[in-house]
């Protein structure tokens, strides 16, 4: 029993990097069977260490993948927040743009010739520039084929000039940011 203890001490010393005297190994009166058992123990320890290293490597790979997924989620969240902020600003500005368009369309010709009106007419253009900067685009309507994703039909009319399903009039402009519809265009469709 004490020989087994000595062998374990020698094996542990070798595994820990200590120098073992060869004479000590020869002095032990170990039978050949016990030497094979000691070698199995070393192989088992090696296998256990390799399994633990593989487990640590797997954990590290999982942690790196999770970190990458978190980075992607935050990037998408940031993009979505930016888009939502632009949509909110555009939604607030659209009524102002509509009011300017209605006011400009109803100005009598006598007033439209005045210089002060020409200065006032610059305001909707400046507002349009701001809207373009946030990425708001007007949805194409008149002359286009009716698409319920972009247009809201309030009525249909018979038309000799247009095929059925073509937008012939627009009552209110529609807008989008990228592929996201902010407001569909309110239109009349040829029957």
DSSP string covering 1-35: -HHHHHHHHHHHHHHTT----HHHHHHS---HHHH
41-72, pLDDT tens digit by residue?
898 999 999 999 999 999 999 999 999 999 99
Give me 141's structure tokens. Answer: 């309507």
Taken in order of first residue, the domains within the chain and their CATH numbers are 2-77 (no CATH), 137-191 (2.30.22.10)
Residue 165 CA to residue 187 CA, distance in Å, equals 11
130-180, pLDDT tens digit by residue?
888 889 998 989 989 999 999 999 998 888 888 888 999 999 989 999 888
Q: State the DSSP H helix or E strand holding residue 187, giving kind and residue range, or none if neither.
A: strand 185-190
Helices marked H in the chain — which ranges?
2-15, 22-27, 32-105, 109-112, 115-120, 122-133
Q: Is the pLDDT of residue 181 over 70?
A: yes
Residue 6: per-residue pLDDT: 62
Residue 3: per-residue pLDDT: 56
- In percent, the amount of the chain with pLDDT more than 70 equals 80
105-143, pLDDT tens digit by residue?
888 888 888 888 888 888 888 888 888 888 999 898 998
Q: How many residues does the chain have?
A: 191
78-101, pLDDT tens digit by residue?
999 998 999 999 889 888 888 888
Residues 6+ apart with CB under 8 A from 167: 141, 142, 143, 144, 145, 146, 151, 185, 187, 188, 189, 190
The count of other CB atoms within 10 Å of the CB of residue 129 is: 9
12-44, pLDDT tens digit by residue?
655 565 554 545 545 555 555 554 545 678 989
């Amino acid at each position: 029993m004490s020989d087994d203890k000595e062998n374990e001490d020698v094996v542990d010393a070798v595994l820990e990097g200590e120098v073992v005297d060869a004479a000590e190994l020869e002095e032990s009166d170990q039978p050949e069977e016990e030497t094979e058992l000691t070698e199995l123990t070393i192989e088992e320890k090696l296998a256990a260490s390799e399994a633990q290293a593989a487990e640590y490597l797997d954990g590290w790979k999982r942690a790196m993948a999770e970190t990458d997924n978190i980075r992607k989620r935050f990037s998408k969240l940031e993009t979505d927040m930016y888009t939502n902020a632009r949509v909110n600003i555009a939604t607030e500005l659209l009524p102002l743009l509509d009011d300017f368009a209605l006011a400009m369309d109803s100005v009598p010709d006598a007033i439209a010739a005045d210089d002060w009106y020409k200065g006032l007419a610059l305001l909707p253009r400046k507002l349009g520039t701001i809207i373009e900067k946030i990425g708001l685009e007007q949805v194409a309507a008149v002359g286009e084929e009716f698409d319920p994703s972009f247009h809201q039909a309030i009525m249909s009319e018979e038309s000799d000039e247009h095929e059925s399903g073509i937008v012939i009039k627009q009552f209110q402009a529609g807008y989008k940011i990228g592929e996201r519809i902010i407001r569909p265009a309110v239109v009349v469709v040829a029957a």
